[in-house]
Amino acid sequence: MSKRQELSFSSPYDGGMLKEGDGTNLFVGNLPLSMTSHKLIELFLPFGRIIRSRVVDDCFTGLSKGYDFVKYSDPQCAAEAIKCMNGRMVEGKVLEVRVAESSGSNPSVHAVPETNHQPTKQMDRSNLYVHNLPLQMNTDKLLDLFVPYGQVTSAKVAMDYTSRISKGYGFLKFSDPHDAANAVM
């Protein structure tokens, strides 16, 4: 089972989709690298009904990036989780728990923060996540596809370490955010 997991717990009785800015989606930071979705749910389930849990890991190493997201069905449950879990020690790490900020960006262009330590309001829109790549794709071929749109300062295709076959996604960084936007139009 892959370490990157997103678990959703919803039912037809949820009353529809909850808005992302409704205070139910929590950012959980400074987690131990050994954190899994199941451990995360065990920690946060006592505060209410969890409808989605996502463990964020590094796409190249498979290790946790040290932050995750938990979405509750009720904002009061989320508030109680923040009150009780923010500052709590877990496996030698002091947790940071707060309401997650929604990016409001176009879902086809995934901007990647410059640092992996904490999410920020400022997003670098020159970074692109590219998915649905063929298994034969490599970094040179990815560069060949995107160089016509502007100066690419870095590129990487995620590869399986044992088979050396593409995992079907990669990342690009353009020198100019406008070039990145043109590449996805």
CATH code, domain carrying 115: 3.30.70.330
Is residue 107 domain-shared with residue 176, that is, in the same domain? Answer: yes
Taking only the tens place, the pLDDT of each residue in 162-177 is 888 888 888 898 988 8
pLDDT value at 106 more than 70: no
Is residue 126 domain-shared with residue 179, that is, in the same domain? Answer: yes
Instruction: Tell me which of 99, 134, 157 is where a domain ends.
Output: 99
Taking only the tens place, the pLDDT of each residue in 43-80 is 999 999 988 887 777 766 667 788 888 899 999 999 99
The span from the CA of 88 to the CA of 35, in Å, is 15
Q: Which pLDDT score is estimated for 60?
A: 67
Greatest extent of the chain over all pairs of C-alpha atoms, in Å: 52
Is residue 150 domain-shared with residue 73, that is, in the same domain? Answer: no
Instruction: Tell me which of 42, 69, 99 is where a domain ends.
Output: 99
Q: What is the rounded average pLDDT of the residues 22-34? A: 86
Q: Which pLDDT score is estimated for 102?
A: 57
Evaluate the CA torsion angle 100, 106, 108, 113 in order and state its sign. Answer: negative
The span from the CA of 165 to the CA of 153, in Å, is 23
Residue appearing with tokens 């463990």: 55
Band (148; pLDDT cuts 50, 70, 90): very high
Q: Which pLDDT score is estimated for 45?
A: 92
Band (19; pLDDT cuts 50, 70, 90): very low
pLDDT value at 184 more than 90: no
Query: What is the residue-averaged pLDDT of the chain?
Result: 76
Band (181; pLDDT cuts 50, 70, 90): confident
Residue 43 phi/psi, 5-degree rounding, is -70, -35
Instruction: Tell me which of 73, 99, 125 is where a domain ends.
Output: 99
Is residue 26 domain-shared with residue 93, that is, in the same domain? Answer: yes
Is residue 13 domain-shared with residue 83, that is, in the same domain? Answer: yes
Is residue 84 domain-shared with residue 145, that is, in the same domain? Answer: no
Cα 102 to chain centroid, rounded: 12
What token pair was written down for 171? Answer: 């990342």
Least confident of 1-10, 21-30, 105-114, 161-170: 105-114
Name the residue range of residue 119's domain.
Answer: 103-185
Could you give the number of structural domains in the chain? 2
Is residue 112 domain-shared with residue 51, that is, in the same domain? Answer: no
Is residue 169 domain-shared with residue 109, that is, in the same domain? Answer: yes
Task: HSE, CB side, 13 Å, CA atoms: give it for residue 39.
Answer: 13
Is residue 18 domain-shared with residue 43, that is, in the same domain? Answer: yes
Q: Which pLDDT score is estimated for 114?
A: 38
Is residue 117 domain-shared with residue 150, that is, in the same domain? Answer: yes
Global pTM exceeds 0.75: no
Q: What size, in residues, is the chain?
A: 185
Q: In what order do the strands lie in the sheet with 50-57?
A: 5-8, 50-57, 64-72, 25-29, 96-99
Is residue 126 domain-shared with residue 180, that is, in the same domain? Answer: yes
Is residue 86 domain-shared with residue 120, that is, in the same domain? Answer: no
The span from the CA of 80 to the CA of 86, in Å, is 10
Give the residues across from 27 on adjacent strands. Answer: 69, 98
pLDDT value at 29 more than 60: yes
